[in-house]
Structure 1
Amino acid sequence: MVKTKEQKVKKAQKKVKKIKKKSLWKEGRALFSGISIFLQLMLYFCVNFIISYLLLENIVMSVILGVIGGFWSYTALSVLQVKTTRYQRYLRDLMKYVTTMTFHLKTGRNEMAAFRATREAVPKHIQIKIDKVLDIMENEARLDTSVFKEYDFPTLDIFHQILDIKYTHGGDPNVLFNPINMMMSDEIAKRDNLYRRKKGKAFQLISMWVMVLCIPLLLVIMPSTLTLYKIFLKYKIASIGIVTIFYLCMLWTLVTIQKAKVNIALKK
């Protein structure tokens, strides 16, 4: 029984890893065109291949590290970065959506009229969501804003819960929506400040990362140490093992720094 439970846990962990990998590729396809993805992967592969070959002078291992480094670099420097930039832009768009909805509700318009008026003032990605909400309101006479949950913005969910109360039971828009507007504005400002602080720290860490990576490269480039490095490379198993472990650690560090930089979730 114990073995079967452990096997189930391992299978579940493997499924989670597969889902995460698939989601990264899906996010990449959503953010970039096929040609852009190919060009970025080739660029990152070439950079990693050149560095690996300078350190190892081994084509096979350089290709392997080039592929690994290319994928990790694409994930960390392209997908995660652009995803975070887009998410910050979406938060500002959602703030505009909430304030515009609140304004129209305060003027005495009902929820459907407020959605229609707000639709003209927001970007296309929110217009699509509003169209789905309006379609349900017109055909089923109920308010369903679950389509907005994909933004993963808890304060927006609270706004829609209050909107549902207003739609079902009525109420004073000033009393209902003023606090949530202030809360959302404060949260977005905190996220922006957090990102700026993390961006500054990440710049310092990446500067140190570049200096560490330059140390073995200097051993290869400088004539005074080149002969000694050539002797080191003659011990193929040891040199390949040491350099590969060092390079993978450097790549892992880069990904970790970038993940920490783009994580702008506020602690509860």
Structure 2
Amino acid sequence: MSTIRRTLMLGAMALAGALALAAQATNYSLWINGRTGGGQVHNHADFSYWGPATTAAGVNKKAINWDGYNNIANTNGIVRDALDCYCTGSNWCYVAAHSAGNLQIGYALSLYGTSARYKKTPSPNAGGQCSNSDGGTQTGWNIKWVNVAGGAAGGSELANAGDWALSEPLVADLKTSTARAMYNHNATGGRMFYMYAGASGTLYSFVLPGQDDEAIAYHSSGGISGSGGASYCNPSDWLCNDLTLGTAAAQGGRAKWSNHSVVFRDDAEAANHYTQGNWAGVVGRARADMAANAQ
């Protein structure tokens, strides 16, 4: 066989191999629940926390169920297992998180996002873990971006005030000072966090500063940096500084965490914190974006 023909054949084989690998690559949409859980832990098909599993919520959607009760440090392994399963090798993920799920994905990326991860075959066992694919490793996970609805990475004054059951280990993590000091919120591995902030809150408005969704205030759902929460509102409210859209600092100069962008600010004050078993509240805004763009 001539050298030219051999070269062409080898090139064709390499191209065929590359095309085969590309054909095997799959995108997934991971949904990380918040406090109270609701779905069966490790069951990635159980969307009972969110709403009907038949609702469009991104390509190949998976419910990354953790108990919504125990500390982030003690349950984050469940989330990392899922990221290993679906977001390594040739596979990529879109991630959506609600409430304390924001702490889960932020914690994973900040503390483990530059660690060596085994490439996995995306077929989890009953414990939510996947087997290694080829024995190779990679640095961190293949994540395109993260949508966060009613994000609790900045904590909630309801936890500070004892409005939630103090027996729950997670409530200690949700105190504003604890949540903000838990990990470096600026360290997202370059992944963008798109924030959806609800503002229909009335029940706990005397506890939560500024605008809120009945559980989380704008300082947290808007990704505002700093060691403690402050009052941020819609532009129509002259009593406190505005939560700005995009990555720009809030009115008054307080910066957002790096790679955090507010894409939905509830100027109509119509979206609350709760899914109500039907993808409702501010989660509905994030879900619509996932359905349209997580493909």
Bucket of the pairwise TM-score, normalised by the shorter protein:
under 0.3
**Structure holding more strand per residue:** 2
Higher relative contact order (CA 8 A, sep 6+): 1
Point out the structure with max Rg over C-alpha: 1
**Structure 1 length normalisation: TM-score?**
0.26
**Structure holding more helix per residue:** 1
